[in-house]
């Protein structure tokens, strides 16, 4: 495709930064003039940054009194910006020039290592990191990244000494231990992998990504129970070494997208303040971008500022009236603050604007159910379940709506089906037990079935006031009032100890029934306790 | 990208290659290797053979997500004349803009529909071949005008004629082959339209009732009117990653035997777990004789649906080690294929991934437990720069070891290329990895031919012996680009055995049947009849196995999908043989 002949494009003809892919020999005569790529598709802020950096570099180049080191720095700064903006080819050439001018500067081969890594050029990446290591032999992040490159090459034996070097400096480095665990797995040394990964986990228990390789290590070692246990705890995430140089690069770009990415990362790290700060900066650059307002609102909400969050969600809607996520978020806030009418309005809008928004349907169903409009909630729960059969909340909500409508038989059938479809969700069993023990409908109650279920629950779960309460219901239904009374008192005492005297007071009504040898006929006194908003 | 097709006349292409007559001396392994060094292993024969087609993805500068996903292709013998025909999906404009606003408008807007090309292969007396394709779309009655994604092939009505299922953005289509060169759209009657966005699908007899059922992989909840704008770090527009949308549940349809299907997704236990499905491969992964289903999901854990033999499935991917990367990362997972690369009798899995992620090689221990070994086998390193889509296990050189071919193309723009005003700058080269037979692979792309060095935005790839000369060829769909036909030049230098496995009551291909080919040197090579796998594409269901230098007709043992097993001794080599269930010697279902 022919390019448009703009002044910048003309400059770019055959004059890309460096041009070749080999390091330039020292000496200014070997350097080529620098040109920028066409920035017409970049955002204004990024284009301005790159142009300013280019001007600065050009000026530095023109000053013959500048040392090679200074010139190298100028090239390097330009390269960093180009790399942050993902102009990787241009960045590579600039880094190579910088490296040629300042061969003792560790940053340039280090960044080249990351650049090649991003392009999937592992051998080049490893060579660049190795060069950086020669300049700074004990640098932990460089050791880790080079080790990772060796693992990518199927060379765990080359990776391990590097990671052990990190460990020697930083005995509590979860990153190094994680790497050593991966290396051991690569060698099929499962017991070794278990040891290292368990150590890593103990140092970084929040790093859920360790769980999966640890599970595989246990599996390889023949311990399937532990493998399954760790598999259940797996989660996403990254385990990176503290990397000041990459942090510097990541913070370089002044673009709304860059701030949005930083903010999203902070959200993942649960650093709400940092997230909000990043999103605010993004909004300064792109004030009409609704997703930035929405994300800022999310960060504010998570940090407890519901009012600030609402303002941002409303700003998002002013910019994009059919922004379903903003409607949803406002619906959540309204619902939580006891304003069901507004909640219904916004959640309905979310559903209307995005018919595939399962979560919005679910929440709307909940609000309708709690607002005395349970019949209207039923189709919403059904639709939510159709859209996303993975979620257990939809069938649960449906069952609770049926209970609200006193359709106890239907509720029981739903809960039994849901237990089959979601065997890992104990909430269905909990709900069903209450129904079987205390439903006002004689056709639905079945004390023996309730007791069977209770015993299954007790085998898997710790004793809680809620479990005791339901056990008491069940015992009462079976006519075992003495035991029911004991259990109910235990439940009340446990609630008190847990700092929930209100709960204990609620349970007193059932205690009085059992003392009069009467069973309970109200499965729930407050369903909010079962399905918190 | 979007380079105009060169106006090459649709000349018949005559090959001066010899086919499996067996009366010329076979090159030795060393000779073949040497010859390979001098001669490209594959050549692109599409234009010369009349296989002229340019995919239109409707891009207009709005970066609609679906633009980067198709097209898939299908290789199947629709007219039962013994050679493989080609079907490829087509796109259309997305959004409200008129056709004239397309960045690369089609030459003939009226031709915007999926196309069927009939293979008019001629094999001459001297063994030379003439490959010629004729566009028979109009004649066929296949009217596929949706925004096509891919295709699946299977004889769902057991009439001996392969039917075609087309996946779309929107409702899918099922075309029943009328066995007279025409098809009828039976979508509505069949109940398999679905809705939303489907990419890969697979016909599979999961319940052993002798009828092919249908698994359809659904991708994302997406509407063109609600297309989300995404941007690169520099602020320029780009295609979105999948996580900005939510996944759509995939579907399992059971064949009722009367032209209709029933959605049994929930009943089969598959409704509760799903992701944005891109690749599907069906095979018996745990060696119990029942076909399982592997689903590769984009950015979410993959599923390994193990057949419970009672109409239901259980997802065993996590503990089996086939859901995530070795580090626990849910990767992008586009193309997938199952095959026995290490000749130990079980089905291993290979999955293509994004640039920087590296491919996955899940090595099966025989019981459906996998270990990821892409780095150890040398695949990871070479694959890291590429974003892979269509792929397959294939014995390129017929040495008895399964090699790997991936067709590649990025999904987000190269910012530098955009700055150079290169539109749709997603092109990447294809790759070929040769199995050394010692648990490792070597990249041999440079030897594979200039066609591999040609950078395209490759997506679907269908694998099969198009010229019936005993080696695997490849048809590749290019997003917003030309259809490619890579004809294999090297495989027929070694001995091979070709098998078509058909049913007892019906002559349909028995998809899922496993074959053990026992060579005279005692080595047993396992292969499988399948049309699924790769990406959004349908493959030649015939089994083609390389025998290397072994010239003795081998014993062939077939494990049929219904659980029975039969054996044939001294099956002819260097030609195709049809094995009909019931015509062999019954045997125990021993081994894998």
Share of chain A above pLDDT 90, in %: 82
Q: Is B273 on the interface with A (CB under 8 A)?
A: yes
C-alpha pair distances (Å), A350 with each of A4, A299, A399, B229: 43, 20, 24, 19
Is the sign of the CA dihedral A358, A361, A363, A366 positive or negative? negative
Q: State the Cα–Cα distance between residues B575 and B563, nearest whole angstrom.
A: 27
Q: Which of B416, B423, B429, B481 to mutate to test the interface with A (most CBs of A within 10 A)?
A: B416
Report which of A157, A168, A127 is spatially closest to residue A145, judged by C-alpha positions. Answer: A127
Q: Could you tell me the two tokens for B415? A: 């910012």
How many C-beta atoms surround the C-beta of residue B125 within 10 A? Answer: 6
**pLDDT of amino acid A41:** 84
The mean pLDDT value for B491-498 works out to: 94
3-state secondary structure A38-55: CCCCCCHHHHHHHHHHHH
Q: Are B517 and B525 in contact (CB under 8 A)?
A: yes
B188 pLDDT band, cuts 50/70/90, is very high
Average of per-residue pLDDT values in chain A: 91
- Residues in B 403-422 with any Cβ partner in A closer than 8 A: 415-416, 418-422
CA dihedral B161, B166, B172, B177 (to 10 degrees): -20
Nearest to A213 among B326, B384, B416 (CB): B326
Q: Is the pLDDT of residue B591 over 60?
A: no
A25 pLDDT band, cuts 50/70/90, is very low
**Whether residue A57 has a cis bond before it, omega within 30° of 0:** no
Share of chain A above pLDDT 70, in %: 92
DSSP for A444-492 reads T--HHHHHHHHHHHHHHS---HHHHHHHHHHHHHTT-HHHHHHHHHHHH
Cross-strand partners of B409? B427
Q: Is A179 on the interface with B (CB under 8 A)?
A: no
Q: Is B236 on the interface with A (CB under 8 A)?
A: yes
**B13 three-state secondary structure:** strand
In Å, the largest CA–CA distance within chain B is: 67
Report CB contact under 8 Å: B266, A215.
no
Q: Is B226 on the interface with A (CB under 8 A)?
A: yes
Nearest residue on chain B to A223, alpha-carbon basis: B319
**pLDDT of amino acid B107:** 85
Q: Are A483 and A515 in contact (CB under 8 A)?
A: no
Q: State the Cα–Cα distance between residues A475 and A513, nearest whole angstrom.
A: 12
B135 pLDDT band, cuts 50/70/90, is very high
Is the sign of the CA dihedral A227, A233, A236, A239 positive or negative? negative
Report CB contact under 8 Å: A227, B246.
no
Nearest residue on chain B to A82, alpha-carbon basis: B234
Cross-strand partners of B42? B488
A22 pLDDT band, cuts 50/70/90, is low
How many C-beta atoms surround the C-beta of residue B6 within 10 A? Answer: 7
Tens of pLDDT, residues A326-347: 999 999 999 999 999 999 999 9
Q: Is the pLDDT of residue B207 over 50?
A: yes
**pLDDT of amino acid B450:** 93
**pLDDT of amino acid A526:** 58
Highest mean pLDDT: which of B24-38, B227-241, B290-304?
A: B290-304
What burial class does residue A32 get, using C-beta atoms within 10 Å of its C-beta: 0-12 exposed, 13-18 middle, 19+ buried? middle
**pLDDT of amino acid B471:** 96
B37 pLDDT band, cuts 50/70/90, is low
Backbone φ and ψ for A103, nearest 5 degrees, come out as: -65, -15
How many C-beta atoms surround the C-beta of residue B108 within 10 A? Answer: 8
Report which of A149, A267, A154 is spatially closest to residue B376, judged by C-alpha positions. Answer: A154
Backbone φ and ψ for A408, nearest 5 degrees, come out as: -70, -35
Residues in A touching B418 (Cβ below 8 Å): 41
Q: Is B103 on the interface with A (CB under 8 A)?
A: no
**pLDDT of amino acid B415:** 76
Q: What is the pTM of this model?
A: 0.90
Q: Is the pLDDT of residue A15 over 50?
A: no
Of residues A25 and A75, the one with the higher pLDDT is A75
Which letter, b or e, does each residue of A152-177 get, where b requires 16 or more Cβ atoms within 10 Å of its Cβ?
bbbbbebbbebbebbbeeeeebbbbb
**pLDDT of amino acid B424:** 78
Report CB contact under 8 Å: A1, B272.
no
Q: State the Cα–Cα distance between residues A162 and A154, nearest whole angstrom.
A: 15
Report CB contact under 8 Å: A227, B416.
no
**B253 three-state secondary structure:** strand
Tens of pLDDT, residues A161-181: 999 999 999 999 999 999 999
**pLDDT of amino acid A525:** 74
Backbone φ and ψ for A421, nearest 5 degrees, come out as: -75, -25
Nearest to A213 among B226, B271, B327 (CB): B327
Of residues A420 and A103, the one with the higher pLDDT is A103
Q: Is B124 on the interface with A (CB under 8 A)?
A: no
Q: Is B61 on the interface with A (CB under 8 A)?
A: no
Report CB contact under 8 Å: A236, B232.
no
C-alpha pair distances (Å), B322 with each of A285, A408, B329, B364, B561: 43, 43, 11, 9, 23
Report CB contact under 8 Å: A257, B233.
yes
Q: What is the number of CB-based contacts under 8 A between chain A and chain B? A: 158
Running DSSP on this structure, what letter comes out for residue B320? Answer: H
The mean pLDDT value for B157-166 works out to: 97
What burial class does residue A342 get, using C-beta atoms within 10 Å of its C-beta: 0-12 exposed, 13-18 middle, 19+ buried? middle
**pLDDT of amino acid A28:** 65
Q: State the Cα–Cα distance between residues A282 and A456, nearest whole angstrom.
A: 52
Q: Could you tell me the two tokens for B97? A: 């803009």
Q: Which of A14, A120, A354 to mutate to test the interface with B (most CBs of B within 10 A)?
A: A120
Q: State the Cα–Cα distance between residues A281 and A275, nearest whole angstrom.
A: 10
Model ipTM value: 0.88
Q: Is the pLDDT of residue A504 over 70?
A: yes
Q: Is the pLDDT of residue B38 over 90?
A: no
Report which of B160, B183, B264, B201 is spatially closest to residue B510, judged by C-alpha positions. Answer: B160
Q: Are B407 and B383 in contact (CB under 8 A)?
A: no
Choice among A401-415, B97-111, B169-183 with the minimum mean pLDDT: B97-111
Nearest residue on chain A to B232, alpha-carbon basis: A257
Residues in A touching B266 (Cβ below 8 Å): 389, 421
Report CB contact under 8 Å: A219, B423.
no
Report which of B565, B500, B519 is spatially closest to residue B401, judged by C-alpha positions. Answer: B519
Q: Is A213 on the interface with B (CB under 8 A)?
A: yes
Q: Which residues contact B308 (CB under 8 A, 6 or more apart)?
A: B269, B314
Average of per-residue pLDDT values in chain B: 91
What is the pairing mode between strands B576-580 and B495-502?
parallel
C-alpha pair distances (Å), A385 with each of A392, B221, B404: 8, 14, 40
B275 pLDDT band, cuts 50/70/90, is very high
Q: Are A174 and A207 in contact (CB under 8 A)?
A: yes
Which letter, b or e, does each residue of B515-540 get, where b requires 16 or more Cβ atoms within 10 Å of its Cβ?
bbbbbeeeebbbbbbbbbbbbbbbbb
Report CB contact under 8 Å: A224, B420.
no
Q: Which of A88, A148, A154 to mutate to test the interface with B (most CBs of B within 10 A)?
A: A154
How many C-beta atoms surround the C-beta of residue A464 within 10 A? Answer: 13
Least Cα separation, residue B434 to chain A (angstroms) = 17
Q: Is the pLDDT of residue A11 over 60?
A: no
Choice among A91-100, A439-448, A485-494, B422-431 with the minimum mean pLDDT: B422-431
Q: CA Rg, chain B, in Å?
A: 22
Backbone φ and ψ for A416, nearest 5 degrees, come out as: -65, -45
Q: Is the pLDDT of residue B33 over 90?
A: no
**B208 three-state secondary structure:** coil
- Residues in A 128-167 with any Cβ partner in B closer than 8 A: 151-154
Q: Which residues contact A424 (CB under 8 A, 6 or more apart)?
A: none
The mean pLDDT value for A309-325 works out to: 96
Residues in B touching A278 (Cβ below 8 Å): none
**pLDDT of amino acid A29:** 60
Of residues B420 and A256, the one with the higher pLDDT is A256
């Amino acid at each position: 495709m022919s390019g448009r002949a703009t002044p910048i494009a003309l400059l770019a003809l055959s004059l890309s930064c460096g041009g070749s892919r080999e390091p330039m020999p020292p000496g200014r005569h070997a350097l080529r003039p620098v040109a920028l790529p066409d920035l017409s598709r970049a955002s204004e802020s990024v284009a301005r940054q790159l142009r300013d950096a280019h001007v600065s570099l050009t000026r530095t180049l023109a000053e013959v009194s500048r040392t090679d080191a200074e010139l190298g720095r100028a090239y390097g700064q330009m390269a960093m910006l180009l790399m942050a903006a993902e102009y990787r080819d241009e960045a590579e050439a600039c880094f190579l020039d910088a490296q040629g001018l300042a061969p003792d500067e560790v940053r340039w081969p280090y960044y080249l290592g990351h650049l090649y890594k991003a392009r999937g050029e592992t051998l080049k990446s490893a060579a660049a990191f190795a060069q950086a290591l020669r300049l700074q032999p004990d640098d932990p992040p460089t050791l880790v990244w080079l080790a990772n490159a060796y693992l990518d090459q199927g060379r765990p034996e080359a990776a391990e000494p590097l990671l052990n070097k990190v460990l020697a400096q930083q005995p509590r480095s979860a990153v190094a231990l994680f790497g050593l665990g991966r290396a051991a797995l690569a060698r099929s040394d499962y017991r070794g992998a278990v040891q290292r990964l368990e150590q890593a986990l103990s140092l970084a228990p929040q790093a859920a990504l360790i769980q999966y390789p640890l599970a595989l290590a246990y599996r390889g070692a023949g311990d399937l129970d532990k493998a399954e246990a760790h598999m259940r705890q797996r989660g996403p995430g990254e385990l990176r070494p503290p990397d000041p140089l990459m942090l510097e690069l990541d913070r370089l770009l002044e673009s709304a997208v860059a701030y949005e990415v930083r903010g999203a990362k902070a959200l993942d790290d649960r650093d709400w303040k940092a997230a909000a700060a990043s999103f605010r900066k993004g909004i300064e650059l792109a004030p009409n971008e609704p997703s930035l307002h929405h994300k800022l609102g999310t960060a504010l909400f998570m940090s407890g500022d519901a009012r600030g969050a609402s303002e941002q969600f409303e700003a998002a809607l002013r910019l994009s009236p059919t922004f379903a996520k903003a409607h949803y978020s406002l619906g959540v806030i309204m619902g939580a603050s006891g304003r069901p009418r507004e909640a219904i309005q916004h959640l309905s809008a979310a559903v209307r604007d995005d018919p595939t928004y399962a979560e919005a349907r679910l929440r709307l169903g909940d609000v309708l159910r709690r607002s005395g409009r349970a019949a209207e909630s039923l189709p919403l729960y059904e639709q939510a379940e159709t859209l996303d059969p993975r979620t257990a909340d939809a069938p649960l909500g449906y069952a609770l709506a049926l209970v609200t409508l006193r359709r106890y038989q239907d509720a029981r059938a739903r809960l039994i089906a849901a237990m089959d479809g979601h065997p890992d969700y104990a909430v269905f069993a909990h709900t069903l037990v209450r129904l079987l023990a205390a439903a006002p409908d004689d056709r639905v109650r079945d004390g023996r079935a309730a007791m069977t279920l209770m015993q299954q629950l007790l085998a898997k779960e710790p004793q809680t006031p809620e479990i005791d309460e339901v056990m008491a219901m069940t015992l009462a239904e079976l006519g075992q009032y003495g035991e029911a009374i004991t259990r109910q008192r235990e439940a009340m005492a446990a609630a008190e100890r847990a700092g929930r005297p209100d709960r204990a007071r609620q349970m007193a009504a059932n205690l009085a029934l059992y003392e009069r040898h009467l069973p309970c006929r109200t499965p729930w006194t407050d369903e909010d306790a079962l399905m918190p908003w | 990208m979007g380079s105009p097709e060169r106006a090459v006349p649709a000349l018949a292409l005559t090959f001066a290659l010899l086919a499996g007559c067996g009366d010329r001396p076979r090159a030795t392994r060393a000779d073949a290797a040497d010859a390979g060094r001098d001669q490209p292993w594959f050549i692109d024969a599409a234009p010369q053979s009349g296989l002229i087609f340019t995919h239109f993805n409707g891009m207009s500068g709005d970066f609609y997500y679906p633009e980067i996903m198709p097209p898939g292709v299908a290789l199947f013998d629709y007219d039962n004349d013994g050679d493989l025909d080609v079907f490829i999906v087509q796109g259309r404009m997305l959004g409200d803009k008129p056709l004239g606003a397309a960045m690369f408008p089609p030459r003939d807007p009226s031709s915007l529909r999926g196309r069927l090309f009939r293979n008019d292969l001629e094999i001459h007396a001297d063994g030379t071949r003439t490959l010629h394709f004729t566009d028979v779309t109009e004649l066929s009655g296949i009217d596929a005008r949706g925004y096509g994604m891919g295709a699946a092939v299977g004889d769902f009505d057991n009439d001996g004629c392969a039917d075609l299922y087309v996946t779309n953005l929107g409702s899918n289509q099922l075309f029943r082959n009328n066995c007279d060169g025409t098809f009828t759209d039976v979508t509505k009657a069949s109940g398999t339209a679905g809705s939303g966005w489907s990419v890969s699908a697979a016909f599979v007899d999961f319940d052993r009732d002798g009828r092919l059922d249908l698994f359809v992989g659904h991708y994302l909840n997406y509407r063109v009117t609600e297309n989300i704008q995404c941007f690169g770090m520099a602020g320029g527009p780009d295609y979105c990653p999948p996580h900005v949308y939510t996944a759509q549940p995939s579907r399992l349809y059971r064949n009722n035997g009367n032209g209709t299907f029933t959605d049994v997704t929930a009943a089969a236990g598959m409704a509760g777990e799903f992701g944005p499905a891109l690749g599907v491969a069906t095979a018996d992964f745990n060696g119990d004789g029942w076909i399982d289903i592997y689903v590769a999901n984009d950015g979410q854990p993959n599923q390994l649906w193990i057949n419970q033999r009672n109409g239901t499935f259980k997802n065993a991917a996590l503990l089996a080690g086939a859901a995530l990367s070795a580090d626990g990362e849910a990767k992008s997972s586009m193309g997938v294929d199952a095959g026995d690369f290490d000749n130990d009798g079980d089905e291993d899995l290979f999955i293509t991934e994004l640039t920087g992620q590296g491919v996955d090689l899940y090595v099966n221990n025989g019981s459906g437990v996998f270990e990821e070994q892409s780095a150890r086998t040398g695949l990871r390193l070479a694959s890291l720069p590429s974003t892979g889509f269509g792929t397959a296990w294939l014995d390129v050189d017929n040495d008895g070891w399964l090699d790997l071919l991936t067709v590649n193309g990025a999904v987000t723009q190269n910012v530098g290329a955009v700055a150079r005003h290169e539109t749709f700058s997603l092109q990447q080269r294809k790759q070929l990895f040769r199995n050394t037979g010692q648990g490792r692979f070597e990249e041999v792309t440079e030897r594979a031919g200039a066609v591999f060095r040609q950078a395209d935005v490759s997506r679907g790839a269908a694998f099969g012996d198009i010229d019936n000369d005993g080696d695997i060829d490849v048809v590749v769909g290019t997003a917003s680009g030309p259809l490619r036909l890579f004809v294999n030049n090297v495989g027929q230098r070694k001995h091979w055995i070709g098998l078509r496995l058909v049913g007892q009551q019906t002559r349909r291909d028995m998809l899922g049947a496993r074959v053990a080919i026992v060579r005279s040197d005692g080595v047993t090579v396992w292969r499988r009849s399948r049309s699924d796998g790769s990406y959004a594409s349908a493959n030649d269901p015939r089994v083609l196995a390389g025998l290397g230098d072994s010239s003795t007709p081998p014993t062939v043992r077939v494990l049929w999908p219904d659980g029975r097993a039969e054996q044939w001794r001294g099956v002819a080599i260097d030609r195709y043989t049809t094995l009909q269930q019931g015509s062999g010697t019954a045997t125990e279902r021993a081994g894998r």
